[in-house]
Amino acid sequence: SAEQAWSGVDAYLVDEVVGEDDALAAARARGRERGLPPIDVAPNQGAFLALVAQLAGARRVLEFGTLAGYSTIWLARAVGASGHVTTVERDPRHAEVARGNLDAAGVGERVRIEVGAALDVVAGLADAGTEPYDLVFIDADKANMPAYLELALRLTRSGSVIVGDNVVRRGAVVDPSDQSPDVAGVRAFLHDLGTDPRLEATVLQTVGSKGWDGFAIARVR
C-alpha cells in the first residue's frame, strides 16, 4: 500500500540522514510502555523542527502538546544549553512521562512543563508579560488551533516562527462532509494564517510513517 511505501521510505531516510539516538528512541518507547498514544512526531519531523529552530536562531521555544516529550527533546537540543523550552500538557500522566524522558535525555533543566489546559496556561503566560518566544510549535488539540494561534501572536515578536502540525488530516481539510471540531479548527487556523496581516505562511503536505498530513509554517512580520 501507499502507506507502507511511505513508511519504508521514512525508515530509510531516518537511517540514512536523520538518525535517532538512544535517548530519543527510549523516549518514544517509554511513551508506548506507559500507554500513551503513538502520536509523537516522526524522527525526520522532529529533526525538521530542530532545524527550523536553529535556522531561526531560537533560544526560547513554546510548545502546545507535550505527550511523552519526544518533540520537546528535539526542540530542547536545538535551543542549546542556555536556551529554554516551555511545553504545555493537559494530561498529568503525559507530563510525568515527559519529565522522565527529558531528564533521561539530559535536557530536563532547560524545559518547563506546564500542566493544564493550554488555553488557560498560555493566556496566563501572555497576561504575565512573559518574554517573547522565538518559535512556537502548536501540536495539542486541533479544535483550539485558531485560539492557540492568537495566543502565539501575543507571545512572539517580529521574526518569530510559528509551526502547526496535522493540518491536512488525510485530506479531510477539503472534505466538505467533515465538520468535526478538529477539522473545523484546522480550517479556521489555516484561514487565519492566510489572511492575518501579521503573518506570512505556507503549508507543506507530508507523507510518511505518520500517514498523509501537513505542516504549517509561519513567520511573524
User: Which residues of the chain form contacts with ligand SAM (CB under 6 A)?
Assistant: 39-41, 65-67, 70-71, 88-91, 94, 117-118, 139-141
Minimum distance between the CB of residue 43 and ligand SAM, rounded to whole angstroms?
Answer: 11
- In contact, 82 and 59? CB cutoff 8 Å: yes
What is the side-by-side strand order in the sheet with 84-89? 111-115, 84-89, 60-64, 135-138, 161-165, 211-220, 199-208
CB closer to ligand SAM out of 25 and 198: 25
Q: Residue 200: which residues within 8 A CB-CB, separation 6 or more? A: 218, 219, 221
CB closer to ligand SAM out of 154 and 194: 154
Minimum distance between the CB of residue 144 and ligand SAM, rounded to whole angstroms?
Answer: 6
Q: Residue 22: which residues within 8 A CB-CB, separation 6 or more? A: none
Phi, psi at residue 160, to the nearest 5°?
-65, 155
Reading the block at residue 98, the C-alpha cell is: 515527559
In angstroms and rounded to an integer, the radius of gyration of the C-alpha atoms of the chain is: 16
Minimum distance between the CB of residue 83 and ligand SAM, rounded to whole angstroms?
Answer: 17
CB closer to ligand SAM out of 184 and 194: 184
CB closer to ligand SAM out of 94 and 169: 94
Minimum distance between the CB of residue 131 and ligand SAM, rounded to whole angstroms?
Answer: 21
